[in-house]
Amino acid sequence: MTQAPINLLLASTSLHRAKLLKQLGLTFTQEAPGVDEELYRGLPPVEMARSLAEKKARALQKRGGFIIGSDQVLEVEGEVLGKPGSAKAAVEQLMRLSGKTHRLITAVALLEAATGRIEVDVDVHRLTMHAWSRLELEAYVAHDQPLQCAGSYMLERRGIALFERIEADPDAADSTAVVGLPLMKLVGLFRRFGVEILRQ
């Protein structure tokens, strides 16, 4: 098993993903992968998440070392919801989710730059939202400002109060996945490469 320190890059500028990755006690850098997510919107939701996670990792392959790519796709009744970008659009997305169950699909990819080998895993959570009025959802959006979050909520903040039930992926039941980076699955990917995180 590898024991020498690894060179690790997170292909994301997300503060939430970085905070999660720090839980593993690893030293890493961050960089935006510069991938146009809109080009993948025609794919089925799980394939879209997997493809984007892989593409984000491969986009920074020239940086060397190990590169982590991750992506989340929110699917409700067959429709994929993207980042709202405005408070008005955020409220409309939440109205679409209000009182319904949707899937939050989180893919993580780990690329070994030197060999081009990549391993990918996917987590799927089912989230059921309470029914809310437009006025209540407007108040929530004003508080959390989830304008860059697919589905227009932030579970790591007040957004957790929106939900009646969250059903985890039965294969992992990894709560870190819903925030954006499934750490248990990521550790599993490292092990496929012979990297034991506790030895880093």
Q: Domain map of the chain by residue range? A: 8-199
Mean pLDDT of the chain: 93
**Among the options 71, 123, 144, 169, which is catalytic?**
71
- Measured between its terminal Cα atoms, the distance across the chain in Å is 11
Most confident listed range (74-83, 113-122, 151-160): 113-122
CA pair distance 65, 156, nearest whole angstrom:
30
Q: Is the pLDDT of residue 1 over 50?
A: no
Which residues, at least 6 apart from 168, have a Cβ–Cβ distance to it below 8 Å?
125, 174, 175, 177
CA pair distance 90, 75, nearest whole angstrom:
15
**39 pLDDT tier (thresholds 50, 70, 90):** confident
Measuring CA to CA, which residue among 11, 16, 20, 10 is closest to residue 55? Answer: 11
CA pair distance 81, 87, nearest whole angstrom:
15
Q: What pLDDT shows up at residue 175? A: 82
Angle at 88 between CA 86 and CA 94, to 5 degrees: 100
Among this protein's residues, is 174 annotated catalytic?
no
How many CA atoms within 13 Å lie on the side-chain side of 186?
A: 28
As a whole number, mean pLDDT of residues 19-31 equals 94
**61 pLDDT tier (thresholds 50, 70, 90):** very high
Q: What pLDDT shows up at residue 80? A: 93
Render pLDDT for 97-135 as a digit per residue (tens, 0 to 9): 999 999 999 999 999 999 999 999 999 999 999 999 999
CATH topology classification for 8-199: Maf protein (3.90.950)
Q: What pLDDT shows up at residue 3? A: 64
Going from the C-alpha of 97 to that of each of 14, 137, 139, 161, 192, the distances in angstroms are 24, 11, 16, 14, 37
Q: Is the pLDDT of residue 4 over 80?
A: no
Q: Is the pLDDT of residue 2 over 60?
A: no
Name which residue leads in pLDDT, 49 or 150.
Answer: 49
Strand pairing category for 29-30 and 117-129:
unpaired
Strand pairing category for 79-81 and 101-112:
unpaired
As a whole number, mean pLDDT of residues 21-28 equals 94
